[in-house]
């Protein structure tokens, strides 16, 4: 049975049982605790906790999930996946244990002809929490399971929570026995490779507190009602029904491995290490495509870092398999083709998905090239010093600073006849990982208690009047101080206020909240911020300036007119810049985030490579042409499908309702889904001045601009600056660029002449250094401080010149600089000295610690730097001592 069919049967089964189908939420959820959705129940947490009243008593979904804790184990075993699909059915105070066990048993064991999965009931096992006698009896009554196929397990296995304070409860897991050829007898407790978990039925009835592990947390008490949360692993059911060994061989995963075989010329199943790499590619390619589809782009922290790591592991694995050519485009194409039946958005958005993935591949291939050079330098230094092992520190720096993978370091070291201190590397990695975990744990919190707002969420959304008016009469529904509802607030108090209606815009969609006031008889209240709760309730953060604010008061809510004017200019300007970007750069320049406030806009977009000056000028010109065209700004509400059919742009990763608001500027020029406030005609935006363009992550660029009066002010300042420069240069303003270019060229010539003079001065001291040579055995040794201020480059030239003056004599030259607290040094030996066993690279190890430095090189020349200039005399003595030892042994 194909995976898409398994999904369809699950949804159909529960829809017939009265469950409302709920689409999968985006993998990126607005939750401070989670990088990505990692379970099917996550989007329903407020319903379980009683913070919101669910719009349905029963629901069913197939949720996209990503779990990143086991990335290192992916491919090593066949049980770990980062992306998977969790099919689940949910009850919010409706049915409980008996019903859910019956529903699951029927779907699993009914024949294929009857719409079920057709599993053999004699091979199904169940587990239950230690003291859950009720669940065990239901398994006997409803499914007829014998005692020997029901096992009791402890909290770590059969008590489910999200790992943080929130809903929890005992659970009953369903396992399928694959047969004796896959392991030993004894049920799930004995062997979870033979007995595969396929479905977890959670009896969500309690709320947990803080804890450190799966079985170490406090049960705070019961939830407002008993709920059901289940999760069936779609991929696990697929590999059982398709009679293959594991999820990597199912219909949606194996095609990626097949593509990797074609690219590499290797065959899956022939070698364990190669198989691990095939599985890494297959797993990570699916996960990366799904993350990019939900708006994630590669970056250096958070979600972006996870995606970058996955994509780079794909490139690395393909390379280790022998695929030298870029391969990302082929892998993501296979994922699109296999997954599109369930996720048609992958087809619609494929150009962007491919662009992001391929862009990261190109960047990483460049990293591998530069990393290889760094590795070569490290290997040469080790060899020159007579060593055989690259240190754990060096391997860690290659990995952590330059992104060079440890397995490539190991492979290249073996090819060079060297070893790597892998234990030292692993220790450093573990220390870094522990720091990261501690940092993540410090930011992890329980789900915010929204109980105080629940009444107002259930009451219905705040009526937003701000599209049509800036002053609205409103009733104070609640006053909240410190998370507690209070009846009044006196002058000087800072509180939150919920109104039945409000003209003040609540922050969302990149637009900052309005500021304004609430006024009444003898009452003045300043509104400094407005935020949304559950996306529907406006919470006004206020300071009572005068009088007493009382629940039930009728007040006038007023928006600061100047703020709103600037905010609408900034928001409409953002839409115009977005449209201009797509016109100049093409359809792959898609919004990746924005911020707009009075007079200013910031717009992030997906694009590979920086923009040229010409492109920036064109974007600004197209934007201002549209502003000057005085386009009408129209808004209307329609359903999501119609909006998309019209070509309205949606923000990737955003979840929209069935009805959406469309903002249209100039007909086809700009059409986006947007809930923000806007000008009525494009000319009201005023001039748009692009300040610059920069990178904010791999494949994501940022444009910043002033609009309206702020644009005028910026241009006036620039004009005054230009006039000042013109006055200083005594030329007309239009001749300033040419005059500056001429001055820069003259300065460049002068710097070259100065450099030549300085180099000549440095070299002129070479003869005096020859005169300082000391005889050590048959060797002549120059070991001295360099002239003040001589840097590494000049030092190398000077040492080379001094060495050359010794001709065929055995000589060693070592000079130490002192530049801004750094101690650059260069050591060089003549050929005759090398024949006596003196190697420059080896000498560094003798004196380096004296100046807090390190370095390396070949037998003839080595260089490096230290940090302790006071140690130069000691370093010179250490060098002389080592040369004396060598001379005595030769």
Binding residues for Zn(2+): 571, 575, 674, 678
Tokens of 513: 């909240």
Q: How far apart are CA 82 and CA 71, in angstroms?
A: 7
Q: Which residue has the tokens 């407020």?
A: 46
Q: Which residue has the tokens 């294929």?
A: 112
Of 262, 354, 263, 360, nearest to 310 (Cα)? 360
Cα 867 to its chain centre, rounded Å, is 36
Of 323, 425, 312, 439, nearest to 378 (Cα)? 425
Tokens of 328: 């990302």
Q: Tell me how crowded residue 216 is: count the other CB atoms within 10 A of its CB.
A: 10
Q: E strands, 101-177, where?
A: 124-129, 150-153, 159-161, 166-177
Q: Tell me how crowded residue 628 is: count the other CB atoms within 10 A of its CB.
A: 12
Residue 380 half-sphere exposure, CB side, CA atoms within 13 Å? Answer: 16
Q: How far apart are CA 307 and CA 316, in angstroms?
A: 14
Say if strands 494-499 and 537-546 run parallel, antiparallel, or are unpaired: antiparallel
H/E run at residue 325: none
- Counting DSSP H helices and E strands in the chain, the numbers are 26, 35
Say if strands 854-857 and 861-866 run parallel, antiparallel, or are unpaired: antiparallel
Q: How far apart are CA 411 and CA 396, in angstroms?
A: 15
814 pairs with which residues across the strands? 783, 827
**Contact at 8 Å (CB) between 148 and 122?**
no
Q: Tell me how crowded residue 581 is: count the other CB atoms within 10 A of its CB.
A: 25
Residue 341, classed as helix, strand or coil, is coil
Tokens of 408: 């490539």
Binding-site entries:
571, 575, 674, 678
Say if strands 124-129 and 150-153 run parallel, antiparallel, or are unpaired: parallel
Q: Tell me how crowded residue 842 is: count the other CB atoms within 10 A of its CB.
A: 21
Q: Which residue has the tokens 């995963």?
A: 253
Q: How far apart are CA 333 and CA 623, in angstroms?
A: 35
Q: Tell me how crowded residue 884 is: count the other CB atoms within 10 A of its CB.
A: 14
The full length of the chain comes to 890
Q: Which residue has the tokens 């008593």?
A: 57
Residue 819, classed as helix, strand or coil, is strand
String of b and e for 67-85 (b: at least 16 CB within 10 Å)? bbeebeebbeebebbbbbb
CA distances (Å), 138 to each of 99, 131, 144, 187, in order?
9, 14, 9, 19
Q: Tell me how crowded residue 40 is: count the other CB atoms within 10 A of its CB.
A: 28
Q: What is the dihedral of CA 648, 654, 659, 663, to 10 degrees?
A: -40
Of 136, 176, 177, nearest to 153 (Cα)? 136
Tokens of 323: 């695929």
Q: How far apart are CA 309 and CA 302, in angstroms?
A: 11
Residues 6+ apart with CB under 8 A from 314: 280, 281, 284, 285, 288, 327, 328, 331, 361
Region of 473 (left: φ > 0; alpha: ψ -120 to 50; beta: rest) is: beta
């Amino acid at each position: 049975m194909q995976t898409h069919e398994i999904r369809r049967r699950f949804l159909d089964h529960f829809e017939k049982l009265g469950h409302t189908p709920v689409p999968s939420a985006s993998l990126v959820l607005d939750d401070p605790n989670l990088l990505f959705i990692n379970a099917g129940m996550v989007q329903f947490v407020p319903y379980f906790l009683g913070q919101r009243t669910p719009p349905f008593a029963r629901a069913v979904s197939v949720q996209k999930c990503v779990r990143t804790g086991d990335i290192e184990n992916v491919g090593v075993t066949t049980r770990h996946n980062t992306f998977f699909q969790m099919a689940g059915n949910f009850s919010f105070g409706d049915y409980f244990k008996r019903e859910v066990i019956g529903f699951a048993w029927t779907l699993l064991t009914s024949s294929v002809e009857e719409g079920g999965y057709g599993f053999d009931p004699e091979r199904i096992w169940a587990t239950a929490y230690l003291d859950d006698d009720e669940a065990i009896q239901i398994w006997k009554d409803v499914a007829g399971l014998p005692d020997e196929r029901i096992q009791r397990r402890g909290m770590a296995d059969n008590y489910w929570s999200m790992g943080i304070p929130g809903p929890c409860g005992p659970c009953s897991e369903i396992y399928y026995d694959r047969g004796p050829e896959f392991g030993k007898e004894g049920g799930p407790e004995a062997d979870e490779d033979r007995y595969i978990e396929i479905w977890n039925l959670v009896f969500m009835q309690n709320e947990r507190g803080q804890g450190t592990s799966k079985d170490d947390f406090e049960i705070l008490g019961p939830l407002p009602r008993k709920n059901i949360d289940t999760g069936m692993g779609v991929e696990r059911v697929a590999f059982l029904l398709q009679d293959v060994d594991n999820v990597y061989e199912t219909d949606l995963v194996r095609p990626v491995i097949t593509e990797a075989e074609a690219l590499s010329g290797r065959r899956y199943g022939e070698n364990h290490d190669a198989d691990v790499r095939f599985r890494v590619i297959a797993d990570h390619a699916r996960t990366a495509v799904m993350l990019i589809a939900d708006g994630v782009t590669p970056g250096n922290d958070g979600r972006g870092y996870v995606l970058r790591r996955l994509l780079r592991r794909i490139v690395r694995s393909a390379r280790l398999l022998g695929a030298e050519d870029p391969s990302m485009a082929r892998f993501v194409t296979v994922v699109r083709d296999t997954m599109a039946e369930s996720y048609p958005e992958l087809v619609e958005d494929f150009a962007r998905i491919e662009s992001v993935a391929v862009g990261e591949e190109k960047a990483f291939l460049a990293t591998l090239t530069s990393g290889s050079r760094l590795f070569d330098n490290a290997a040469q230094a080790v060899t020159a010093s007579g060593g055989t092992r690259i240190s754990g520190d060096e391997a860690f720096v290659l990995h952590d600073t330059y992104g060079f993978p440890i397995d490539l370091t190991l492979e290249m070291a073996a090819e060079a006849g060297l070893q790597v201190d892998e234990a030292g590397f692993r220790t450093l990695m573990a220390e870094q990982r522990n720091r990261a975990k501690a940092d993540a744990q410090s930011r992890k919190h329980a789900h915010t208690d929204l109980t105080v707002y629940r009444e107002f969420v259930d009451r219905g959304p705040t009526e937003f009047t701000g599209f049509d008016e800036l002053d609205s009469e409103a009733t104070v529904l609640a006053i909240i101080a410190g998370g507690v509802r209070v009846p009044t607030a006196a002058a000087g108090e800072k509180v939150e206020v919920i109104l039945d209606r409000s003209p003040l815009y609540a922050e969302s969609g990149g637009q900052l909240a309005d500021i304004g006031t609430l006024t009444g008889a003898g009452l003045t209240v300043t509104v400094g911020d407005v935020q949304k709760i559950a996306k529907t309730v406006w919470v006004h953060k206020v300071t009572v300036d005068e009088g007493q604010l009382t629940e039930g008061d009728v007040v006038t809510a007023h928006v600061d007119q100047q703020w709103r004017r600037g905010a609408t200019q900034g928001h409409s300007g953002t839409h115009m810049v977005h449209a201009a970007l797509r016109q100049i750069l093409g359809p792959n320049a898609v919004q990746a985030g924005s911020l707009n406030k009075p007079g200013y806009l910031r717009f992030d977009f997906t694009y590979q490579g920086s923009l040229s000056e010409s492109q920036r000028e064109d974007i600004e010109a197209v934007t201002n042409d549209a502003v000057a065209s005085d386009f009408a700004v129209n808004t209307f509400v329609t359903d999501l499908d119609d909006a998309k059919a019209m070509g309205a742009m949606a923000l990737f990763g955003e979840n929209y309702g069935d009805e959406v608001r469309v903002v249209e500027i100039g007909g086809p020029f700009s059409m986006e889904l947007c809930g923000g406030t806007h000008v009525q005609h494009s000319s009201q935006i005023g001039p748009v001045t692009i300040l610059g363009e920069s990178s904010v992550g791999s494949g994501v660029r940022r444009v910043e601009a002033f609009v309206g009066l702020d644009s005028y002010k910026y241009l006036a300042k620039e004009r005054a600056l230009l006039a000042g420069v013109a006055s200083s240069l005594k030329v007309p303003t239009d001749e300033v660029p040419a005059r500056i270019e001429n001055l820069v060229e003259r300065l460049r010539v002068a710097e070259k002449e100065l450099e030549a003079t300085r180099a000549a001065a440095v070299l002129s001291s070479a003869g005096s250094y020859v005169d300082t040579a000391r005889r050590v055995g048959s060797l002549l040794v120059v070991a001295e401080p360099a002239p003040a201020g001589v840097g590494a480059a000049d030092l190398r030239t000077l040492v080379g010149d001094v060495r050359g003056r010794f001709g065929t004599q055995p000589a060693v030259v070592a000079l130490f600089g002192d530049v801004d607290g750094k101690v650059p040094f260069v050591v060089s030996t003549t050929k005759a000295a090398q024949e006596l066993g003196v190697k420059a690279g080896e000498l560094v190890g003798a004196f380096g610690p004296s100046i807090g430095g390190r370095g390396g090189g070949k037998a003839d020349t080595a260089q490096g730097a230290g940090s302790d200039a006071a140690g130069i005399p000691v370093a010179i003595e250490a060098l002389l001592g080592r040369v004396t030892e060598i001379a005595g042994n030769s």
